[in-house]
Amino acid sequence: MTPRVRRTVDDVARTLSTWDCVDTITILESGEDFYDPYFFVSLDVFYRGQLPTLDQRREALENAGAFESQEVHPKDRFLLDGVPVRLEYKDIDRYAELVSAAFEPQGAQRDTGTYVFYRLQHCQVLFSKSDWLEQVRSRLGDLSEEFWGRVRNAAQARMEHFLSDLHAAAVREENLFYLVSSAGFIRNYCAVLFAVNRRFEPSARLMEQEVLELPNKPDAFGGRFDSFLRRDPRFTPMRTYELAELMAKAAMAL
């Protein structure tokens, strides 16, 4: 993190930490440096009770430019000293429920996978009033085999669903449906592999890098994975479906 970005992060965290409702502030950086097109600073702001209103937040961050906000799932985006910053406000009680549900025998699995736990596990703490996050991380390290079995089964079912859609799209030559099905298939194929390895799923941007680093992968994984991702005109939609079918069978055999 460059000194300029560090100053921006510290300034924002210092402001947010004065709000009575804020318990914990964490950071996940995106991109390698300021000039990386992926770069932005992502802060998770865990709170209890009532957040300041949009007007109050805007006033508190008075030096921020290009301020945008979303109220349904509260988020703020802005530029501060030229640094793109994203704030996601997260109710601690809701996250406590998500973590507790993971330990229930028939706990429902989210369609969005385990990324919510990945952020909790890998974030850096900037400010904390309590040991809430430390306790959560300790609990996430004790997830049962039943939990990982449920995660795998849910991801596997979604993978098979998208595989079927991929076949239908190839047969009917429906280009948009083919693209949507391809994306759904490869995302859930990776989710199966993360579950097999007892790892939480990273963001989509980091998925390729981290899935390649998994210790337990199917035979011929590297070549098939690369071929599926490569834009090769020799790979017709039907041929890509056949490759996906081989990949899915090998993943289910793990």
Pairing verdict, β 75-80 and 65-70: antiparallel
> Of 218, 31, 24, which is closest to residue 123 (Cα–Cα)?
24
Contact criterion met (CB below 8 Å) for 181 and 166: yes
Confidence of residue 33 (pLDDT cuts 50, 70, 90): low
CATH of domain 3-140: 3.30.460.10
Contact residues for 132 (Cβ-Cβ < 8 A; gap 6+):
23, 24, 46, 92
* Chain segment 56-86, per-residue pLDDT in tens: 999 999 888 899 998 888 999 999 988 899 9
Average pLDDT over residues 222-236: 89
Confidence of residue 107 (pLDDT cuts 50, 70, 90): low
Residue 78, pLDDT score: 93
Integer-rounded Cα radius of gyration of the chain: 21
Average pLDDT over residues 88-113: 81
Architecture of domain 145-252: Up-down Bundle (1.20)
Domain ranges of the chain: 3-140, 145-252
Confidence of residue 1 (pLDDT cuts 50, 70, 90): confident
Distance CA 211, CA 208 (A): 5
Task: Kindly list the distances between the CA atom of residue 61 and the CA atoms of 11, 16, 51, 81, in Å, as whole numbers in the listed order.
Answer: 9, 9, 14, 12
Confidence of residue 50 (pLDDT cuts 50, 70, 90): very high
Above 80 in pLDDT, residue 161?
yes
| pTM for the whole structure | 0.89
Residue 85, pLDDT score: 92
What angle is formed at CA 252 by the lines to CA 200 and CA 216, rounded to 5 degrees? 50
Above 60 in pLDDT, residue 108?
no
